[in-house]
Structure 1
């Protein structure tokens, strides 16, 4: 049987790159057979994917992508997959070229059924990656224990089938302004990469105001290209260059003294590729935390060594912090929880790991070691050290706990801020104030030490006390432990961002103190994410 051109099955490649399927005009019997064959192919192709199988079964295997009326969905999907690199996603993982080729080649109902499920599967992968991230953070580093929202695949494809396809796919990206600003910074860096970056590195260990010469010119030129100063022909470390260095130092977590010391030059010499990697990792982290933050919350950024109270997107309190030391058992984990109360004049209940690994060896050599701590028996009462033969115990069988009563010398200082969690992490005061003067502040056992704990307490109590400072100080003067419930509990987010862009458009970068960014980018690279340059 020879079909006329109007009845012949045709495949058209649209100017925009979308593929149109036009079903043949057949007799009733053959048309029914074609529909049956298409449905059978969809059912067989989707059988190994529980979500897709259920979705198609509920719609009687009616296609979403390969029907005559599905051109908008095909076009929207292909366009989204082609632009996956704009979000730092692994474009090659979606095989847009392979999908396009399969659409062109699909001439039989069986072929079209297979292409239908292929398109649906790729759409779900893309949506999941854009909405919740490419990686599972816990599989990259055990310290990244945040809960990543993953969305039901069947509900996603069902919603897509009933929505404006282009708008639906666009809404998959995190809608927080932090993500949008990072995406703009990504494009800026990609354009800089295409132009060759920031030029020659600074060939000097340190430079100071008043100096001149080739290294000063290199510093000047890099800061000009980075946008920290206007064009200049000066070969001297003058006031304009000093001001630019200070701006750079502020945006990189360095002491803004205007002197280009070792830390400053090290950061200045970072390449565009390095910063682009940091931005790509930060965008992945934003996808892991794609849910909107609460109107008011506590924000701890580990590499920034600061805690903020954020209210309506603005910081209303800020303090330096000390975070966990960069060892496997002390790194501060990343997670979110709810701050429920503070304890004024706290006792320190020494964690079991510190008792057995640090103090027990000391007390084996000298019973009086760590004398500021009480030995507590299983009945909860203090036990005299003279009655204990420390030598007979090890990490596994030591039957005692240890406690430090409230005092100015208490390891927790005079106040702690509690958001009960299985990691036993909280914010607290400390008698060791000198560490707050350092640029890099990773020294604790894992908890977060706050430089201005009293001011932090006042800020938290403002919501429930007319005189928060007076209330706090009165409790402090009793020298007795007091638990104060927060009438408005706050979410606490302990995060790890080495790159972010503030509301004014200033890009900030920090060191990868725990090497987590490096691990994430390595995993992203294995998944197919790569750096790219973009012509202006």
Structure 2
């Protein structure tokens, strides 16, 4: 192929790699009619791959490349010599200076030269005698093409000579196997500004490394254009809209053939590179990468990160996947809720959002009354009227009967519509009008949040959904516990995150956090009152109880004192709390303020989550973890000590979520209010309206940065209405000479627990 005698001129039209090759050396040039120009093969490349992919500094590396090429061409491709030169030439981005690079190459050349000399010497010493003339002639004859006669005088046959082959015609640009080893990598570097203007920097690095490892071999194209693998990937990209993404974000290169049906090398390489970039962009977005840092970009209370996969891992897996389009789709969330939301999105876009019912306004309607609206309400709630009335006559559809009354009450309780009675009110009409009220934007925002959730929620886990004020326990995909909760207020939001429940505490103390000490206890203490004693709080310093009135609170830091509420019937934490240590210091707990669970919007706490039936929650968790029954749990409550910590044998995942759209057990999508504004922020981010997002920060207590007086007066600066006592109420109390308690009476009595 390339093993002609030294000094033999290259045939006209021969492949550019048909160089002068020493007789007896192994040629690197292995092209032929069957060579696949755009895929890796088992044949060795013409030149060492490390020499053929220099992403930058082409002019400065010209001498180094030429030197390496010369060394390998002269000395051949074999064993340890090739390995030595490989270590030097594989460096795509040499950190050393030019002089050192040349020095390395010269040293390698000397090493290989010595090795070659020793090889020749060993070969010569093996020949103890010259071959006979007849043998020499026979060997030479074998080396010549059969169409030529052997010359009268011949030189001794070289060792391990290969038969000479006729020169091959030069391949066209579109079928040259040079593309396999050089073109993609060089194209990436030469066009990086154009290619990577909007691409992720991680994608650029991943593709550069990927194609270097493949020696530039193409993945999506061959001499005939796009491969079947490319068609599979392009199909997945075009289907992105059906998965809550935007297909317009993933450009598919338009690869056009020349009039003769061939494709130019530049067009093939451009299509190869751009399709790889689009595939990586799709993979990143499918994992939630459109909003890479929700705590910084949206709200500090959204403590989640997209479940991203390294771009190099994605492209490597794509290269080996049997169905490459299916692999891309497999990166979408696999949660049941995500799929139900997706199906709702498809139905909405196809016009299948259900019949819109418009119930006009009017007075309240109680059961037993008649109204033309009754038939509409019955239709909206899907309640079938009876065939006949109590008197046996045909049923009057304007009559508000008991069956419809039960359906109305159940609907109002489920949706949190107050009051939870069967009376038909304006709030009920508003909820029933316009179908289910699920918009495309709401579905997309909630689907995006599912991309941030862990891939594996756990076989048994606890989940809180803030917008519908519910805590649920899920076992093997089925809800085994469902109860109402109270969450954080708008000013003191419950954060969104996941962690592991490790401890359940029965008969707990309420350890007052620093934020409440500084912002809510300190003003009352400075005013000269003793709110701690009146509210049953205890103050300790170094394990010893002290009186709060004995301290000068203008000179002392209240954070250095331990303040807690002992276990009792009025304890803010009730009889049990559930701990899952986290950076936000929030948890689930009982509360003596049961009345708040009847409110439709239950955002009253300081961030912690109060459970309406916490003992049953403890029973479910401990039955799973320890196999305990209800009797064992009740015994702990009655006979156990204070602060009785029960460590779980296996930590249980806890997921605090914020989904304003959720599929119920029957698959119907429920809609909830956006109380914290997270849905709006996500919607703006997906639309690219970053400058319109009101990014919220989680408040921190830092008295070292701001004086205590500023904390005590902060509610006036912020026009904050603390615990039901406005600024005017505060001033009126001062005028009447009553002791100022910072609103603690209202705090403990109306919103007891405050957590």
TM-score w.r.t. structure 1 length? 0.82
Change (3 A) 1:497 1:290: same
Query: Aligned partners of 1:131 and 1:242: how far apart in 2?
Result: 45
Change over 3 Å in CA distance of 1:471–1:176 after alignment to 2: closer
Q: Is the 8 A contact 2:289 2:308 kept in 1?
A: no
Structure 2, unaligned stretches of length 5 or more?
Answer: 1-167, 387-395, 691-755
Residue aligned with 1:28, SS: coil
Given candidates 606, 610, 613, the residue that maps to 1:445 is 606
Aligned positions, number: 491
User: Using the alignment, how far apart are the partners of 1:490 and 1:194 within structure 2?
Assistant: 38
- Asked if the contact 1:132–1:289 (Cα under 8 Å) also holds between the matched residues in 2, the reply is no
RMSD: 3.2
Deviation at 1:272? 6.4
User: Residues 436 and 39 (structure 1 numbering): CA distance in 2 closer, same or farther, change over 3 Å?
Assistant: closer
1:254-312 per-position Cα deviation (integer Å, ceiling 9, x unaligned): 47644332432332235667433322222112221150321111111111212122111
1:299 is matched with which residue?
463
Quote the Cα distance in structure 2 between the aligned partners of 1:430 and 1:145: 26
The 1:341–1:241 alpha-carbon spacing in structure 2 relative to 1, beyond 3 Å, is same
Give 1:320 shift: 1.5
Match of 2:696 in 1: none
1:58 is matched with 213
Equivalence for 1:41: 187
Q: What is the 5 A alignment of 1:355-370? A: 355-370=517-532
Deviations 1:118-138 (A, max 9, x none): 211111111121233532332
Contact preservation (8 Å) 1:346, 1:412: yes
Alpha-carbon distance change, 433 to 512 in structure 1, aligned in 2, over 3 angstroms: same
- Mapped to 1, the partners of 2:584 and 2:184 lie a distance apart of 53
Shift of 1:40: 2.2
Q: Once structures 1 and 2 are overlaid, which stretch shifts more, 245-254 or 138-147?
A: 245-254
Number of the residue aligned with 1:464: 626
Q: Do the aligned partners of residues 72 and 294 (structure 1) sit closer, same or farther apart at CA in structure 2, a change above 3 Å counting? A: same
Instruction: Pick the aligned partner of 1:342 from 504, 511, 522.
Output: 504
Distance 1:90 1:452, change over 3 A: same
How far off its partner does 1:513 sit? 2.0
Q: How far apart are the structure 1 equivalents of 2:250 and 2:638?
A: 60
Quick check: which one's strand share is greater?
1
> Aligned with 1:101: secondary structure?
coil
Map 1:49-448 → 2, pairs under 5 A: 49-67=204-222, 68=224, 70-95=226-251, 99-101=252-254, 107-132=263-288, 134-136=290-292, 137-138=294-295, 139-163=297-321, 164-192=323-351, 198-200=356-358, 202-204=360-362, 206-210=364-368, 219=377, 223=380, 228-229=382-383, 234-235=397-398, 237-238=400-401, 242=405, 245-246=408-409, 248-249=411-412, 252-254=415-417, 257-269=421-433, 274-289=438-453, 291-327=455-491, 330-371=492-533, 372-377=536-541, 379-392=542-555, 399-448=560-609
Whether the aligned pair in 2 keeps the contact of 1:298 and 1:309 (CA below 8 Å) is: yes
Question: 2:385 touches 2:397 (CA, 8 Å); kept in 1?
Answer: no
The 1:28–1:465 alpha-carbon spacing in structure 2 relative to 1, beyond 3 Å, is: closer
What per-residue deviation string (whole Å, max 9, x for no partner) do you get for residues 53-99 of structure 1?
A: 1111111111222324852232223222222111221333224xxx3
Q: Which moved more, 1:294-303 or 1:71-80?
A: 71-80
Match of 1:534 in 2: none
Please point out which of 517, 523, 530 is paired with 2:679: 517
Q: CA 1:397–1:482 in 2, change beyond 3 Å: closer, same or farther?
A: closer
Stretch of structure 1 that moved more, 277-286 or 348-357: 277-286
SS class of match (2:532) = coil
SS of alignment partner, residue 439 of structure 1: coil
- In 2: Cα distance, 1:89 partner to 1:231 partner: 43
For the residues of structure 2 that align with 1:431 and 1:419, how far apart are their CA atoms? Answer: 22
5+ residue gaps in structure 1?
A: 1-24, 529-536
Question: SS at 2:676's partner residue?
Answer: coil
Name the residue aligned to 1:27: 170
Q: Partners of 2:368 and 2:461 in 1: how far apart?
A: 45
Return the offset for 1:399. 3.7
Summarize the Cα distance change of 1:210–1:80 in structure 2 as closer, same or farther, 3 Å threshold. farther
State the shift of 1:387 in Å: 1.8
Q: Is residue 2:649 matched to residue 1:487?
A: yes
In the TM superposition, what whole-angstrom CA distance separates every residue of 1:453-497 from its partner, at most 9, and x where no partner exists?
222222222242544433543454355221111123211111111
SS at 1:370 equivalent? helix
SS at match of 2:570: coil
Query: Residues 220 and 406 of structure 1: is their aligned pair in 2 closer, same or farther, counting only changes over 3 Å?
Result: closer
- Asked which structure has the greater CA Rg, the reply is 2
Asked if structure 2 preserves the Cα contact closer than 8 Å seen for 1:344 and 1:483, the reply is yes
Cα offsets for 1:408-454 (capped at 9, x unmatched): 22211121111111110111111111111222211111111111122
CA spacing shift, 1:231–1:167, aligned 2, 3 Å: farther
Q: Closer, same or farther in 2 for the Cα pair 1:29/1:147, shift >3 Å?
A: closer
Q: Distance in 1 between matches of 2:588 and 2:213?
A: 51
Name the SS for the 1:309 alignment partner.
strand
Q: 1:239 to 1:130 in 2, by over 3 A?
A: farther
Distance 1:432 1:167 in 2: 52
CA distance in 2, matches of 1:422, 1:38: 47
Instruction: Measure, in 2, the Cα distance between the counterparts of 1:389 and 1:263.
Output: 53
For 2:440 and 2:172, the matched residues in 1 are separated by 59
CA distance in 1, matches of 2:441, 2:370: 33
Deviates more, 1:334-343 or 1:360-369: 360-369
Determine helix, strand or coil for the equivalent of 2:282: helix
Stretch moving more, 469-478 or 288-297? 469-478
* SS class of match (1:323): strand
Shift of 1:333: 0.6
Q: Determine the C-alpha separation between the residues in 2 that align with 1:397 and 1:318.
A: 39
Aligned-residue offset at 1:502:
3.1
Give the Å deviation of 1:28.
Answer: 3.0
CA 1:69–1:245: 2 relative to 1, 3 Å: farther
Q: Secondary structure at the match of 2:683?
A: helix
Cα gap change, 1:446 to 1:126, in 2 (>3 Å): same
